[in-house]
Amino acid sequence: MARRLIQAAHAAGDATVPGIDDMSTYVRRWEQGRFGLTERYQLYYCAAFSIPSSQFATAPPYSAPLIPGPAGPRVPESLTVAYRGPYRSEPDNSAVEREVLMTAHESGDHAEEHEQPGIGDMTFEQLRADVARLARLSDTGEPLAAFFDMRRVRDRIYRLLDRRLWPREQTDLYFLLGCLNALMGIAAQGLGYLDAAEELHRAGWAYANAIDHRPLMARLRTDLAEVAYFRGRFEESRDLALSGLGFFSAGPEGALLHVLHARAAARLGDADAARQAVRDGREARDRHRDYTDDLLEMGGQFAISRATHHALAGAALTAVAGTESEAAYELDRAIELYDEGPGEHEEYWFAGKPLAGIGLAVTRLRSGALDAAAADLQPVFSVPPAQRITALTTQLAAARTELAAPIFRGSAQARALGERIEEFGRETIVTELHSLPGAPGLRHPPACAAARDGSAWPSRDGTSRPVLTY
């Protein structure tokens, strides 16, 4: 099927469709009902099946007859196999992993109920291991699946808080709850639910504040600054970043707060403050190179890598006039580090390199380097739909706006690249979730709107510049 679709596309003069491996993945997702087809691929299906477009998807959906059973009606297995595809005598790896994990969770919950009063060492060690695992999963896994797992661990901690606890036990649980709310907020933001993300981060802040855990308080100020920035509230984002530095300014977390300050300052037009904040962030990271604490030891989302630091610094500098070469240096350095692989005690976020590639592509497009920009965007297009978070789609909107510049008018390569960007945005976990009945609409804050129409910031020709919103 994938080969037939590619042939139909080429026959129509469309050379921008993905290769056989990516197309096969698309076909599987379409057939599983995980994503709807765009009009472009509907036409290619019609060409492959030699049917007019008016007949596409007009057949009534198959409805298997139900037969009675002890647990209620069920679909006969022979019919479900015939409808869903080839029968597999063995479940796939993901199904096996889910079953094994659920069995382990059930055992842990049962052991927790029969442990000594208070919280035993075994339960607390397991909870801490769970939160550390989820911090890493936030970097490498699918945001929606990670969110559900985080909620399960959080609910388990809620049950433990109903017990009579020693003060130290309660403090330890509050620390873990603060971490979990931070992680859930990051996942919610990635899925496009900014209201939920903000509420989760504020809940985490309440727990961190209750135990006066200053590194965690600084981290949650970081997360709230991120949400404010994506909403287009740049002054609030700047103030939250500066507030976080008042709680903690050392190591990777302090360096991140400096960079977030730089990014917000750049959007507010304070170029000097933005440049100084980038320098301060670099100094904070270098000066406390060996710093560690119980939050950093969690790893994953709580241990910002050097590559991510360079990527964020480059994103901040893209909005400062006259710093194009500095921005390109930071983004180039980020991609080099991503290609080298994580350093000691580092892990890389799945969207880190693609986001750096988008930022670098935007700087290339501003100088007219279309071929180089297209190469920078290749890692982005290979991100699976389940990991295509809002940061990726809004960044690509900035690149799409640059492609509309007069210098690229009439360019077939620019048009094809723009179409591929639009295709990427249609097949994302965010699009799928927000298209469900009853789901809230995906709100586009001013920063995202500016990325679409290029109306908010000065560009290389003094008219408009799309925004990069990491």
Local structure of 272: helix, strand or coil: helix
Q: What is the pLDDT of residue 431?
A: 67
Instruction: Of 88, 4, 76, 28, give the one whose Cα is nearest residue 384.
Output: 28
Local structure of 354: helix, strand or coil: helix
pTM score, whole prediction: 0.68
d(Cα 345, Cα 290) in Å, to the nearest integer? 11
DSSP readout, 284-335?
HHHHTTT---TTGGG-GGGS--HHHHHHHHHHHHTTSTT-HHHHHHHHHHHH
Q: Where are the domains of the chain?
A: 1-59, 350-470
End-to-end alpha carbon distance in the chain: 37
Q: What is the pLDDT of residue 76?
A: 39
Q: What is the pLDDT of residue 109?
A: 56
DSSP readout, 172-213?
HHHHHHHHHHHHHHHHHHHTT-HHHHHHHHHHHHHHHHHTT-
Q: What is the pLDDT of residue 447?
A: 36
Instruction: Of 450, 397, 384, 422, give the one whose Cα is nearest residue 29.
Output: 384
Place of tokens 């890493």: 136
352 and 310 Cβ atoms separated by less than 8 Å: no
397 and 451 Cβ atoms separated by less than 8 Å: yes
Dmax (CA) for the chain in angstroms is 74
Q: What is the pLDDT of residue 470?
A: 41
Instruction: Of 226, 225, 230, 228, give the one whose Cα is nearest residue 242.
Output: 225
User: How much helix, strand and coil, in percent to the nearest 5, is found in the chain?
Assistant: 70, 0, 30
Q: Which regions of the chain are under pLDDT 50?
A: 62-92, 114, 441-470
Q: What is the pLDDT of residue 385?
A: 87
